[in-house]
Amino acid sequence: RKEVEQDPGPFNVPEGATVAFNCTYSNSASQSFFWYRQDCRKEPKLLMSVYSSGNEDGRFTAQLNRASQYISLLIRDSKLSDSATYLCVVNRLDTGRRALTFGSGTRLQVQP
Amino acid sequence: DGGITQSPKYLFRKEGQNVTLSCEQNLNHDAMYWYRQDPGQGLRLIYYSQIVNDFQKGDIAEGYSVSREKKESFPLTVTSAQKNPTAFYLCASSIDRQLSATNEKLLFGSGTQLSVL
């Protein structure tokens, strides 16, 4: 089983739609969670961190469910510019390895 | 402006050849990382370095080598032992080598696309 799993999509949605992505992680020792955005052939960029209480940044809402070991990203009022791949990222602090583990990404295509 | 610079943007390797990808940062970050990304897949960690003159293997280190002689530089060599080197290579850095909860954000370079001739 992969350490971080995401539905690859693509999710094709019309402008203005609300869309949600889920991501599951296998290791309960994971302690930090993030969503990164990656445009085609570009580098990933941090979209938002995910906090236990849930957090919101404009049209984007991230939530964490530790009991079920999944995190989610909700995008409201989708824009054409939201079209990208969204990467779920986790980190574990129980090992000597200090690096983030990335999911394979969920592709979003917002259509006019 | 501070940032991470990767070069070249595109690189072609002949069979049996070693090639080196450059990564430089002027952010004074302690930690640096190399990831590989294949089409439709996530990033896989090749090597990382938390401090000068020290580096650790990631999940797919075989066929690769690195050095960290200077804080700002972390070059990656793709050796002839790497039989499937075609991929998008991403270098990243973070300010905190311990990756504490509040400072785990990675800043990426723009990547190098390596292809085999």
Q: What share of chain B is helix, strand, coil (3-state, %, to 5)?
A: 0, 50, 50
**Which residues in chain B touch residue A101, judged by CB atoms under 8 angstroms apart?**
45
Dihedral sign from CA coordinates of B80, B91, B29, A94: negative
Q: Scanning every residue of chain B, which has its alpha carbon at the shortest distance from the alpha carbon of A2?
A: B42
Q: Give the CA radius of gyration of chain B.
A: 14
d(CA B10, CA A78): 33
d(CA B7, CA A58): 35
* Per-residue pLDDT tens over the stretch A7-33: 888 999 999 999 999 999 998 877 789
Which chain A residues contact residue B43 at CB under 8 A? 44, 87, 102
Amino acid letter for position A48 = M
Sequence-distant (≥ 6) Cβ neighbours of residue B99 within 8 angstroms? A32, A91, A93, A98, A99, A100, B31
Residue A69: pLDDT band with limits 50, 70, 90: very high
Residue A103's pLDDT band, with cuts at 50, 70 and 90, is very high
CB contact under 8 A, B42 and A105: yes
**Using one digit for the tens of pLDDT, what is the confidence trace for A27-45?**
887 778 999 999 998 999 9
Inspect the interface and report whether the beta carbons of B42 and A102 lie closer than 8 Å: yes
Determine, for residues B105 and A46 on separate chains, whether the beta-carbon distance falls below 8 Å.
yes
Mind giving me the DSSP string for B55-88? EEE-SS-TTEEE--SBTTB--EEE-TT-S---EE
Could you tell me if A48 and A62 are in contact, meaning their C-beta atoms sit under 8 angstroms apart? yes
Q: Quote the minimal CA–CA distance from A77 to chain B in Å.
A: 26
Chain A and chain B share a number of CB contacts under 8 A equal to: 60
Q: Could you tell me if A91 lies within 8 Å of chain B, comparing CB atoms? A: yes
C-alpha span between B47 and B3 (Å, rounded): 20
* 3-state SS, residue A82: helix
Taking alpha carbons only, the member of B9, B3, B18 closest to residue B90 is B9
Q: B101 to chain A: nearest residue by CA?
A: A32
User: What's the mean pLDDT in A55-74?
Assistant: 94
Nearest CA in chain A to B34: A99
pLDDT at A109 over 70: yes
Report residue A110 as tokens. 């917002």
Q: How far is CA B34 from CA A42, B22, B27, B50, in A?
A: 15, 11, 17, 12
pLDDT over 90 (residue B38) = yes
Q: Is the CB of A101 inside 8 Å of chain B's CB atoms? A: yes
Nearest to B40 among A8, A32, A42 (CB): A8
